[in-house]
């Protein structure tokens, strides 16, 4: 049985101040404390558990993003009173440098020097919370290892807490397999009596299916003195969950909000990490589908949380979209395509290809089996066919590069044709050199451009040319090494027959 404490003076004053009711409150201020000091030993990793990526974002990043989203949730926006949200405070212990480096000033930090339980961890944040201006009335506590909890449900917990003027409000869920979650014990009237941790539960309590999800709101002025006097459990830990029984025994209001079980998943090992990844992936895919994106086969489509996709785009099976990637409207992406950290415009088609750190403007088509490496920029209407590669290159609008070709460190004008098998020889073994290809130039089949070299506007190279010197505009060069054989007037197309354009 948990010791009972008389209600603190602060809290009674607080209740008096607010007893006119929720609607008379001028402002609610809250601070969020994220508990993340656990050692995470079950991950068996050199990397802090909180930095393990889930759908491309570190675990803690998900929790922070969720907290940052609370003020813009529908529930909060519908609520017409001022609510002041402070930057989240993260309680750290083990490997904290890795975490503070990764998140820097995105949050405030507190240190729990010894891991003596979740109650002890919240107390470690007291000084940081009390130094906030304006001073928060409410402390929202979340766990750093439950990344699937949604901002909307956190908003509902906060609003319920404000409305009920409770000492404690917490999130629960109905579990079919309650496993190691704390159980919610209620009296006959349905009032919460306690959260019972599995280690201390009777067989009867273990059979309860309502569980504690690990999200709480506390009245700040009540919280600190109660935490300071919190008795230690036989396990040696101070359980935050014991505060619920203390509030109940003081006759104070304990409120609950029921959420979904799948948001409650906690990550302790890599098996749970994979389970969470699957759920999160599904959630991300559903977000895109509801926003007007067709995902033909969700089971084989992997999209990270950071990706944006426009309306009426179709994502075909086996596609992986990662990093800060944006894809425009009415595109067809896939099958079997990977795009990382790239910007794809509207109405593009990308089949069986790989793109990273690149830009495709509107109406570009690419693939099958082509590759845009770092710094590739395909301007509007470029057609890149099969087995083509571009790296650190700008390919001008409406250019064609259909078969077996490579452009590295190259800039081309518009309406350029790179015929089958043409490549830039941009690396001399020591240094990279640039190639410039003018507007309307026609690079004939199997041309090798030995960089640095410039091909003038509307120049032509004959099949198999090895170009070692700059080619003036409107000039046809052939041979090894390539030499000019004639000048071309704009209206006179060449008749070398070496293009392999479709």
Q: Which is nearer to ligand UD1, 144 or 385 (CB)?
A: 144
Q: Which residues pair with 242 in a beta bridge?
A: none
In angstroms, what is the minimal distance from the CB of 159 to ligand UD1?
21
Which position among 117, 136, 438, 444 is part of the footprint of ligand UD1 (CB under 6 A)?
Answer: 117
Size of the site for ligand UD1 (CB under 6 A): 28
Tell me, residue by residue from 139 to 158, as one string, x for binding to Ca ion by CB under 5 A and - for no binding: ------x-------------
CA 422/CA 462 separation, integer angstroms: 11
In angstroms, what is the minimal distance from the CB of 182 to ligand UD1?
2
Q: Residue 440: left if φ>0, alpha if ψ -120 to 50, beta else—which one? A: left
In angstroms, what is the minimal distance from the CB of 282 to ligand UD1?
20
In angstroms, what is the minimal distance from the CB of 272 to Ca ion?
9
A 10 A CB-CB count for 485 gives: 14
Tell me, residue by residue from 250 to 269, as one string, x for binding to ligand UD1 by CB under 6 A and - for no binding: ----------------x---
Strands 475-478 and 460-461: parallel
Q: Which is nearer to ligand UD1, 212 or 405 (CB)?
A: 212
Cα angle at 370 between 368 and 371, to 5 degrees?
150
Q: Which is nearer to ligand UD1, 88 or 413 (CB)?
A: 88
Q: How is the chain split among helix, strand and coil, in percent rounded to 5?
A: 25, 30, 45
How many Cα neighbours within 13 Å face the side chain of 202? Answer: 5
In angstroms, what is the minimal distance from the CB of 214 to ligand UD1?
3
32 binds, among Ca ion, ligand UD1, none (CB under 5 to 8 A by kind): none
Q: Which residues pair with 308 in a beta bridge?
A: 326
Which position among 57, 102, 116, 466 is part of the footprint of ligand UD1 (CB under 6 A)?
Answer: 116
Which position among 143, 216, 442, 460 is part of the footprint of ligand UD1 (CB under 6 A)?
Answer: 143
CA 384/CA 395 separation, integer angstroms: 10
Tell me, residue by residue from 208 to 227, as one string, x for binding to ligand UD1 by CB under 6 A and - for no binding: ---xxxx-------------
Residue 62 in contact with ligand UD1, rule: CB under 6 A = no
Residues 6+ apart with CB under 8 A from 425: 448, 449, 450, 451
In angstroms, what is the minimal distance from the CB of 259 to ligand UD1?
12
CA 324/CA 332 separation, integer angstroms: 19
Question: Any idea which residues carry the catalytic annotation?
Answer: 403
CA 431/CA 162 separation, integer angstroms: 65
Which position among 160, 197, 210, 363 is part of the footprint of ligand UD1 (CB under 6 A)?
Answer: 197
Q: Which is nearer to ligand UD1, 148 or 376 (CB)?
A: 148
Nearest to 194 by CA among 178, 227, 170, 173: 170
Site for ligand UD1 in 146-165 (CB under 6 A): 146
CA 403/CA 422 separation, integer angstroms: 9
CA 89/CA 116 separation, integer angstroms: 19
CA 412/CA 377 separation, integer angstroms: 10
A 10 A CB-CB count for 370 gives: 24
Which residue do the tokens 């495709």 mark? 360
Site for ligand UD1 in 37-56 (CB under 6 A): 37-38
Which position among 136, 266, 381, 396 is part of the footprint of Ca ion (CB under 5 A)?
Answer: 266
CB under 5 A: which stretch of 18-26, 263-271, 285-293, 401-409 binds Ca ion? 263-271
Under the rule (CB under 6 A), what is the footprint of ligand UD1? 35-38, 91, 112, 115-118, 120-121, 143-146, 181-182, 195, 197, 211-214, 239-241, 266
Under the rule (CB under 5 A), what is the footprint of Ca ion? 145, 266
């Amino acid at each position: 049985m948990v010791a009972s404490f008389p209600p603190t003076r602060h809290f009674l004053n607080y209740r008096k101040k607010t007893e006119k009711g929720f609607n008379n409150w001028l402002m609610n201020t809250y601070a969020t404390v994220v508990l993340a000091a656990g050692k995470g030993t079950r991950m068996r990793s050199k990397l802090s558990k909180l930095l393990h990526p889930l759908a491309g974002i570190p675990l803690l990043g998900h929790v922070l993003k969720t907290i940052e989203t609370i003020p813009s949730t529908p529930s909060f926006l519908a609520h017409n009173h001022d609510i002041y949200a402070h930057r989240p405070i993260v309680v750290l212990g083990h490997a904290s440098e890795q975490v503070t480096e990764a998140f820097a000033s995105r949050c405030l930090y507190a240190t729990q020097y010894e891991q003596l339980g979740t109650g002890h961890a919240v107390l470690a944040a007291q000084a940081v919370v009390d130094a906030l201006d304006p001073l928060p009335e409410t402390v929202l506590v979340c766990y750093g290892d439950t990344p699937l909890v949604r901002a909307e449900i956190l908003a509902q917990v906060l609003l319920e807490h404000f409305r009920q003027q409770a000492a404690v409000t917490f999130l629960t869920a109905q579990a079919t397999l309650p496993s190691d979650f704390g159980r919610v014990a209620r009296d006959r009237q349905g009032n919460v009596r306690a959260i019972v941790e599995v280690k201390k539960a009777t067989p009867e309590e273990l059979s309860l299916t309502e569980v504690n999800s690990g999200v709480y709101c506390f009245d700040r002025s009540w919280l600190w003195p109660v935490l300071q006097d919190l008795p230690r459990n036989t396990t040696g830990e101070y359980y935050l969950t014991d505060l619920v029984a203390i509030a109940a025994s003081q006759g104070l209001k304990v409120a609950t909000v029921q959420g979904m079980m799948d948001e409650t998943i906690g990550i302790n090992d890599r098996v749970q990490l994979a389970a969470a990844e699957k759920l999160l992936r599904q959630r991300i895919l559903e977000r895109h589908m509801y926003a007007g994106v067709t995902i033909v086969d969700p089971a084989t489509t992997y999209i990270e949380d950071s990706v944006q996709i426009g309306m009426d785009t179709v994502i075909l099976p086996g596609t992986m979209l990662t990093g800060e990637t944006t894809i425009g409207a009415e595109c067809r992406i896939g099958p079997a395509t990977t795009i990382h950290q790239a910007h794809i415009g509207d109405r593009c088609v990308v089949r069986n290809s790989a793109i990273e750190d690149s830009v495709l403007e509107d109406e570009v088509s690419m693939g099958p089996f082509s590759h845009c490496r770092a710094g590739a920029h395909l301007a509007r209407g470029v057609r890149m066919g099969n087995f083509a590669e571009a790296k650190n290159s700008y390919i001008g609008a409406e250019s064609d590069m259909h078969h077996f070709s490579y452009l590295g460190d190259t800039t081309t004008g518009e309406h350029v044709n790179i015929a089958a098998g043409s490549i830039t020889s941009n690396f001399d073994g020591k240094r990279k050199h640039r190639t410039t290809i003018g507007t309307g130039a026609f690079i004939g089949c199997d041309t090798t451009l030995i960089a640095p070299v410039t091909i003038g506007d509307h120049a032509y190279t004959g099949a198999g040319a090895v170009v070692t010197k700059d080619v003036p505009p409107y000039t046809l060069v052939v041979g090894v090494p390539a030499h000019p054989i004639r000048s071309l007037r704009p209206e006179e197309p060449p008749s070398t027959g070496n293009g392999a354009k479709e």
